[in-house]
Amino acid sequence: MQIIQELTLLKKIIKDVKKDGLSIGFVPTMGFLHEGHLSLMRTAKAENDFMVMSIFVNPLQFGVGEDYEDYPRDLERDEKLARSVGCDLMFLPSAKEMYPAGYATFVKVEKLTERLCGASRPGHFIGVTTVVAKLFNLVSPDRAYFGQKDAQQAFVLRKMVQDLNMDLNLIILPTTRESDGLAMSSRNKYLTFEQRKNSVVIIESLKMAEELADQGVRNVEEIKKAIYEKISKAKDARIDYLEIVDTEKLLPLTEIKGQCLIAAAVKFGKTRLIDNIILEV
Ligand code: PAF
């Protein structure tokens, strides 16, 4: 596995890989890898000739007072894990090279970014789309892999790829979960023992919503009320948002019909966790 920091060196290697006619699968991450990242990387490895992963804790997507400084980092462990899934190239750019003095270009996807995490974290998605557009330009992947846990991020990036005519296939893979159902996230590390135990209420309430829909409940307010009630009973849990939206424009629904996304962000103390399920009725 090659470990590369400099942008010019990366571009040279990518040029050679392309010259050899190899396909490139890419998994961008912010590091502190878990099984969710590894499953994306395994698929990227299986579906492509050359697998690239990046680790970059992107300052641009963190708001003031968010956890940029505290975001968990463990490069040594990440390196071992990346090797264990057959990564060919690990890209570790610096913030100085990604955003040199005078940097002035940003990518903004409108509308899709207005609700859910976009409303709770103003500016977050401009940071995500800008860095991912830059990474796509540097790595030139044939396929790039993202998890459904960050469903809005994946939909926004899919729109960016489409609108900017980027020549790659964006693949969204199912959320990887702990044995009790909690969606894997690097931020789970922040949870205290008790918060970790209680955090399972998020997926339990989403599953309860699915059951209600299976039983024929179609009214969105009724389903949201049931989720609110269940989550508010969990100690320390505070709902940041809970939305039931369509999967095209991410607009709120009044009735469950067709394909819809139930997405929630819940805070346990200072730790904000997100999760979602897609329903098809
Ligand atoms: O999902 C993440 O880890 C980040 O938002 C991403 C896509 C690597 C961009 O920084």
- Give residue 218 CA to ligand 1 midpoint distance, Å: 34
| Span 226-251, pLDDT tens digits | 999 999 999 999 999 999 999 999 99
Work out the pLDDT band at 71, boundaries 50, 70, 90: very high
- So what's the pLDDT on residue 245? 98
Decide: residue 96, CB within 10 A, 0-12 exposed, 13-18 middle, 19+ buried: exposed
The protein residue with its alpha carbon nearest to ligand 1, atom 2, reads 29
Indicate the top mutation candidate among 32, 121, 128 to test ligand 1's pocket, ranked by most ligand atoms within 8 A of CB: 128
Find the helix packing angle between 124-139 and 151-163, rounded to 10°.
Answer: 60
Q: Given this model, what pLDDT does residue 128 score?
A: 98
**Residue 164 vs residues 44, 58, 157, 167: alpha-carbon distances, Å:** 23, 21, 10, 9
Write the burial class of residue 187 (CB in 10 Å: 0-12 exposed, 13-18 middle, 19+ buried). Answer: middle
| Residue 130 Cβ < 6 Å to ligand 1 | no
Supply the pTM of this predicted model. 0.97
Ligand 1 atom, smallest distance to 61 CA: 10
- 37 catalytic per annotation: yes
Tell me the domain boundaries of the chain.
2-173, 186-276
User: Predicted confidence band at 217 (pLDDT cuts at 50, 70, 90)?
Assistant: very high
Tell which one of 30, 138, 184 to mutate to probe ligand 1, the residue whose CB is within 8 A of the most ligand atoms: 30
Q: Could you tell me the pLDDT band of residue 28, with boundaries at 50, 70 and 90?
A: very high
The confidence score (pLDDT) of residue 127 equals: 98
Q: What is the pLDDT of residues 127-166, one digit of tens each?
A: 999 999 999 999 999 999 999 999 999 999 999 999 999 9
Q: Whose CA is nearest to atom 9 of ligand 1?
A: 128
Q: How confident is the model at residue 174 (pLDDT cuts 50, 70, 90)?
A: very high
Protein residue with least CA distance to atom 3, ligand 1: 29
- Which CATH class for the 186-276 domain? alpha beta
In the sheet that 89-91 helps form, which strands lie side by side, from edge to edge?
2-4, 89-91, 50-55, 24-29, 143-147, 169-173
37, 29 contact by CB (below 8 A): yes
Q: Report the run of H or E that residue 99 belongs to, with start and end.
A: none
Q: What is the pLDDT at residue 66?
A: 96
pLDDT digit string, tens, across residues 79-124: 999 999 999 999 999 999 999 999 999 999 999 999 999 999 999 9
Q: Span 2-173: which CATH code?
A: 3.40.50.620
Which pLDDT value is given to residue 192?
A: 97
Is 132's C-beta closer than 6 angstroms to any atom of ligand 1?
A: yes
Of the residues 26, 27, 29, which should be mutated to test ligand 1's pocket, given the most ligand atoms within 8 Å of the CB? 29
For residue range 194-209, what is the model confidence (pLDDT) as tens digits?
999 999 999 999 999 9
30 CB near ligand 1 (under 6 Å): yes
Pocket of ligand 1 contains residue 109 by CB under 6 Å = no
**Cα of 219 to ligand 1 centre, how many Å?**
34
Please pick, among 37, 121, 134, 149, the residue that the annotation labels catalytic: 37
Question: Pick from 26, 1, 2, 4: which is nearest to 93 by CA?
Answer: 4
139 lines ligand 1 (CB under 6 A): no
Residue 253 Cα to ligand 1 middle (Å): 28
Q: What is the pLDDT of residue 176?
A: 98
> Of ligand 1's atoms, which has the minimum distance to the CA of residue 132?
9
What distance lies between CA 13 and its chain's CA centroid? 27
